[in-house]
Chain A
């Protein structure tokens, strides 16, 4: 069955450094991958979407890469700030049936803490 792994449950970094979060998946070939931010007690907020034919996408201080050979996406936050502290979720389209689907399948998330 499809499996999504985010490299760590928690990541602590110093303010100003670049945070790098990893999302690995198995047994599936997604058409796209999305990254969301979630603050405690709130719903996920969409950040970036990258398609299978794209290698990299940027938005302000955010950068996402997508390697379909390695089945991995990297999510970077440059010049990190304490306000970036949150849980970051990666999500793939579809489910473990392999059939086309509009649902998203999420990883467990990585809790990022940016220390001043």
Chain B
């Protein structure tokens, strides 16, 4: 069990650019979640996949955000036309069906200049 991994760990981009983050969940976990965390706040839910199906999306997830999990394994989160307000830590978590515990990755820290 290698845990949840995320890539890259840090990303600095200019306003208006597109960015894509990758998450590799724990191998036997069929559920995958994306959260966003800003300084001094707890993580906020963005979206959730069960296998390859995206089953929940937060109202926080604007049209500029899109997430995929094409084969039910790794997932990508893309942000188009980044804004300074998108600067945050983006966290991925996974869990297995039948359990309620979510295991988090180390996060991707995004800074939009």
Contact = CB atoms under 8 A, between A and B. Distances in A.
Interface of A: 4, 9, 32, 34, 36, 41-46, 49, 89, 91, 93, 95, 101-109
B91 A43 contact: yes
B61 to A, nearest CB: 12
A106 B43 contact: yes
Interface residues of B, number: 27
Interface string B25-57: 000000101010000111111001010000110
Contacts of A4: 42
Contact of B107 (A34, A36, A43): A43
A99 to B, nearest CB: 10
A103 B42 contact: no
Nearest to A46: B101
Contact of B100 (A44, A49, A89, A95): A49
Contacts of A89: 42-43
Interface of B: 4, 31, 33, 35, 40-45, 48, 50, 55-56, 58, 91, 93, 95, 100-107, 109
A45 to B, nearest CB: 7
Contact of B44 (A9, A106, A109): A106
B43 to A, nearest CB: 5
A71 to B, nearest CB: 18
Contacts of A49: 100-101
A45 B58 CA distance: 23
Nearest 9 interchain pairs by C-beta: A106-B42, A43-B104, A103-B45, A44-B104, A43-B107, A106-B43, A43-B106, A46-B101, A108-B42
Contacts of A107: 42
22 contacts: A32-B100, A36-B104, A43-B4, A43-B91, A43-B93, A43-B105, A43-B107, A46-B102, A46-B103, A46-B104, A49-B100, A89-B43, A102-B31, A102-B33, A102-B48, A102-B55, A103-B33, A103-B48, A103-B58, A108-B40, A108-B41, A108-B42
